[in-house]
């Protein structure tokens, strides 16, 4: 799977040079017949050496990748995932299981043909994929994902001598054999209940109606007009390079959004999508740092929305960060509510539906929103009535934007920093903006142009709220501890998954009642 790209690149490079000499004029040369004849004579006289050299290069490439595969080992324990690799330079990487933020199963097109998959799991490392295991058989990748999520949820391996539990099996050792000194509980694939699917027709229509496509069409029309006025010079120099970048971008939107489905399971939020390259993501409960609901001016006529999130490791610099951070590429208002019920199971209010409606399309002070004062209406003449925020027991909701509407949601325990921003015009209008920092990602939540006394009071109060929430609710083992302090926060998630018809598993049923033992406060 890894070596075929290198082989194709070498064959392409050699074949291109060969054709340039074999076919007169191929590749833009002058087509000198004497050079072509010399090259053909060399090929026919040295065909045996050429074949032998090609086979030697092929064997070296395959041998190198074979040794790379042979020297790769992985180990799963109760606390860590260890991966050792390297031929000349050895590398060992270790990831704490209780810090796993998300797990992806990726199947490139060639891997899908052979039934293989790549397992990627993220930890809070700032934006790059922490660990990769490529390639595993697809059933093995799903089982390993289940085992890692089970340990991250707090299901411990049994100590040696305690005797195996019903259905227990021995863990894989570093060489893939069974380890005789411990047994662990089986971690079958958790059941799931699909809540949202994106039809291909809606996906295509959303791409066609996106502002970027309309801008590209306008630019293309202007370019064609200039093309006729400049005898084709403008088209060749400026227009074609832009189209070469625009067409892959459109294809990426369709390929990454095709067959999109979002499901709920005891493991957390599950996403699956892709046409040629398929991806299956799993984000455990409580790992989402911030949520943003977007709605463009054209999509507003169709009632469509997009939802993106911040997850540690899914930053913009990561592999496909924007795509992996999208939990709803295009959906209706009902789809938005379904997704929010998964990513924000405890909104901290008795009126969650009304609050979300006011945040997405409302204005004024409905549902407790504090809006921008009239003194700032000259700074934001169209949006000042809509700009506002409200605070619930568990999160901050901030809305802003007029043509492009945004609703940012940040759980209190995920607030990593706060800053006040005030320029000279805002100072003259007695308003101030507040930025809330989370992990790197597409969501940059902030409160726009609040009254200065209100912004300062929020600044101090939110700092205290974030500290209290992090101390009380920020726990890693969601099946061992209650992450939201309610005792029933994860119960509806498990019940929804079980209602899909799956057999209830005692180890993965409802979340247990809150433990009375001392909370495990871990600081990195």
- Mind listing the domains of the chain with CATH numbers? 3-70 (no CATH), 76-175 (2.30.29), 287-477 (no CATH)
Task: Identify whether 142 is preceded by a cis peptide bond (ω within 30 of 0).
Answer: no
Q: Rounded mean pLDDT of 329-347?
A: 90
Give the mean pLDDT of the chain.
Answer: 76
From CA 285, how far away is CA 479, in angstroms rounded? 10
Report residue 98's pLDDT band, with 50, 70 and 90 as the boundaries: confident
pLDDT at 187: 55
Q: Rounded mean pLDDT of 439-449?
A: 90
**What are 129-167's pLDDT values in tens digits?**
567 888 889 999 988 888 888 887 766 554 333 433 333
CB contact set of 157 (below 8 Å; sequence gap of 6+): 77, 78, 151, 171, 182, 183, 184, 185
HSE at residue 389, side-chain half, CA atoms within 13 A, is 25
What's the whole-model pTM score?
0.74
Q: Rounded mean pLDDT of 206-216?
A: 85
**Both tokens assigned to 385:** 């009535």
pLDDT at 388: 94
DSSP, collapsed to helix, strand or coil, labels residue 472 as helix
3-state secondary structure 249-293: HHHHHHHHHCCCEEEEECCEEEEEECCCCEEEEEECCCCEEEEEE
More confident residue, 438 or 154: 438
Q: Rounded mean pLDDT of 242-256?
A: 81
Q: Rounded mean pLDDT of 386-411?
A: 94
**What are 176-192's pLDDT values in tens digits?**
333 433 333 455 566 78
From CA 510, how far away is CA 414, in angstroms rounded? 25
The DSSP output letter for 100 is E
pLDDT at 231 over 70: no
From CA 61, how far away is CA 191, in angstroms rounded? 42
More confident residue, 11 or 449: 449
CB 387 within 8 A of CB 399: yes
pLDDT at 169: 36
CB contact set of 229 (below 8 Å; sequence gap of 6+): none
Task: List the strands of the sheet with 261-265, edge to edge.
Answer: 131-137, 116-123, 100-107, 278-283, 268-273, 261-265, 193-197
**How many percent of the chain have pLDDT more than 90?**
26
Inter-helix orientation angle 352-361/333-343, to 10°: 120
pLDDT at 391 over 90: yes
CB contact set of 496 (below 8 Å; sequence gap of 6+): 193, 264
Angle at 52 between CA 46 and CA 57, to 5 degrees: 125
Report residue 496's pLDDT band, with 50, 70 and 90 as the boundaries: very low
From CA 397, how far away is CA 347, in angstroms rounded? 10
The closest of 352, 313, 342 to 439, measured between CA atoms, is 313
Q: Rounded mean pLDDT of 248-277?
A: 88
Q: Rounded mean pLDDT of 11-40?
A: 58
pLDDT at 151: 82
């Amino acid at each position: 799977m890894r070596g075929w790209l290198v082989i194709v690149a070498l064959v392409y490079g050699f074949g291109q040079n060969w054709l340039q000499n074999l076919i007169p004029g191929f590749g833009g040369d002058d087509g000198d017949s004497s050079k072509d004849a010399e090259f053909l004579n060399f090929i026919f006289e040295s065909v045996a050496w050429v074949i032998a050299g090609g086979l030697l290069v092929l064997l070296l490439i395959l041998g190198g990748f074979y040794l790379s595969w042979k020297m790769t080992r992985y180990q799963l324990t109760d606390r860590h995932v260890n991966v050792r690799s390297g031929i000349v330079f050895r590398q060992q990487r270790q990831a704490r299981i209780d810090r796993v933020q998300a797990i992806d199963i990726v199947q490139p097109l060639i891997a899908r043909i052979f039934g293989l998959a790549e397992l990627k799991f993220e930890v809070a490392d700032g934006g790059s994929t922490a660990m990769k295991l490529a390639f595993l058989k697809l059933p093995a990748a799903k089982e390993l994902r289940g085992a890692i999520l089970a340990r991250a949820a707090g299901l411990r391996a049994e100590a040696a001598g305690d005797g195996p539990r019903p259905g227990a099996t021995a863990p894989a050792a570093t060489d893939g054999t069974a380890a005789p000194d411990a047994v662990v509980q089986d971690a079958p694939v958790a059941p799931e209940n699909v809540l949202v699917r994106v039809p291909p027709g809606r996906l295509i229509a959303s791409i066609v109606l996106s502002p970027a496509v309309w801008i590209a069409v306008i630019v293309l029309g202007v370019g064609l007009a200039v093309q006729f006025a400049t005898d084709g010079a403008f088209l060749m120099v400026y227009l074609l390079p832009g189209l070469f970048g625009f067409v892959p971008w459109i294809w990426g939107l369709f390929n990454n959004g095709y067959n999109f489905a979002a499901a709920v399971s005891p493991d957390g939020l599950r996403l699956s999508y892709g046409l040629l390259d398929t991806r299956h993501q799993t984000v455990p409960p409580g790992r989402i740092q911030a949520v943003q609901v977007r709605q463009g001016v054209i999509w507003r006529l169709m009632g469509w929305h997009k939802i993106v999130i911040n997850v540690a490791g899914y930053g913009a610099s990561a592999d496909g960060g924007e795509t992996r951070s999208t939990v709803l590429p295009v959906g209706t208002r009902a789809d938005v509510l379904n997704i929010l019920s998964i990513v924000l199971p405890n909104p901290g209010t008795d009126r969650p539906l009304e609050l979300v409606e006011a945040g997405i399309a409302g204005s004024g002070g409905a549902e407790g929103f504090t809006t921008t004062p009239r003194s700032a209406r000259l700074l934001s003449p169209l949006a000042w009535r809509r700009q506002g925020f409200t605070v619930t027991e568990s999160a901050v909701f901030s809305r802003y934007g007029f043509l492009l509407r945004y609703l940012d949601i940040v759980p209190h325990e995920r607030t990593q920093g706060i800053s006040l921003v005030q320029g000279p015009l805002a100072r003259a209008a007695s308003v101030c903006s507040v930025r809330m920092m989370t992990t790197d990602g597409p969501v940059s939540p902030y409160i726009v142009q609040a009254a200065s006394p209100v912004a300062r009071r929020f600044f101090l109060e939110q700092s205290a709220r974030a500290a209290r929430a992090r101390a009380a609710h920020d726990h890693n083992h969601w099946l061992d501890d209650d992450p939201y302090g309610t005792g029933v926060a994860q119960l509806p998630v498990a019940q929804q998954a079980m209602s899909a018809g799956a057999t209830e598993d005692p180890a993965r049923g409802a979340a247990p009642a809150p433990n009375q033992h001392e909370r495990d406060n871990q600081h990195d």
